[in-house]
Structure 1
Amino acid sequence: MSKTKTTPKFKNEAEERAFWEEHDSSEYVDWTQALSVAMPNLKPSTKTISLRLPEGLLNSIKIEANKRDMPYQSLIKAWLADDVKQSRNV
């Protein structure tokens, strides 16, 4: 087991944030003892983007989304996520 430093007590979140911006956590945490966790209810951060699509493609996507009774944006995200997942598993 590695020797780690004691994590200081912080007065507030801003002080803690400033501390971790300047310090390496490996000096304070034995990451070899860390466990993997699943957080299925954690909502991922999102970022708005502008995506230009040919009108015909967008209309086709909207028709397909309508058949599935879902918003077309959700269908696009699902298709993109599936494609990226498949690409990484190849």
Structure 2
Amino acid sequence: MSKKLEPIPSFKDEAEERAFWESHDSTDYVDWGKAERVVLPNLKPSTTSISLRLPVSLLDRIKVEANKRDVPYQSLIKTWLAEKVG
């Protein structure tokens, strides 16, 4: 037996909606059993800046390799890290 769902109210802004969902259980409003997986191909992953100390000679070699590939050296480092970590 499925339970009767409450209608989702209208909200004047995102802050009001956020406050509502902080104090209400979504299972009273949404049948999660009917949910479908969504793919968002254009969504960029979150990034964060880090500080990494490298020997000058290593950084110079990385920059040479990046120049050969016509890509920014930081992008090349990210690519290499992603390949290594898998």
Q: Distance in 1 between matches of 2:57 and 2:40?
A: 39
Residue of structure 1 in register with 2:72 after alignment: 71
Residue of structure 2 in register with 1:16 after alignment: 17
CA RMSD of aligned residues (A): 2.2
Relative to the length of structure 2, the TM-score reads: 0.74
> Is 1:41 equivalent to 2:34 in the alignment?
no
Q: Distance in 2 between matches of 1:26 and 1:49?
A: 39
Cα drift, residue 2 of structure 1 = 4.5
Q: Distance in 1 between matches of 2:58 and 2:67?
A: 14
Residue of structure 2 in register with 1:83 after alignment: 84
Q: Distance in 2 between matches of 1:5 and 1:33?
A: 16
Is there any run of 5+ residues in structure 2 with no aligned partner, and where?
Answer: none
Is there any run of 5+ residues in structure 1 with no aligned partner, and where?
Answer: none
| AA in 1 matched with 2:48 | K
* 1:57 alignment partner, SS class: helix
Once structures 1 and 2 are overlaid, which stretch shifts more, 17-26 or 75-84?
17-26
| AA in 2 matched with 1:59 | D
Q: Distance in 1 between matches of 2:31 and 2:76?
A: 42
> Is 1:25 equivalent to 2:26 in the alignment?
yes
Relative to the length of structure 1, the TM-score reads: 0.71
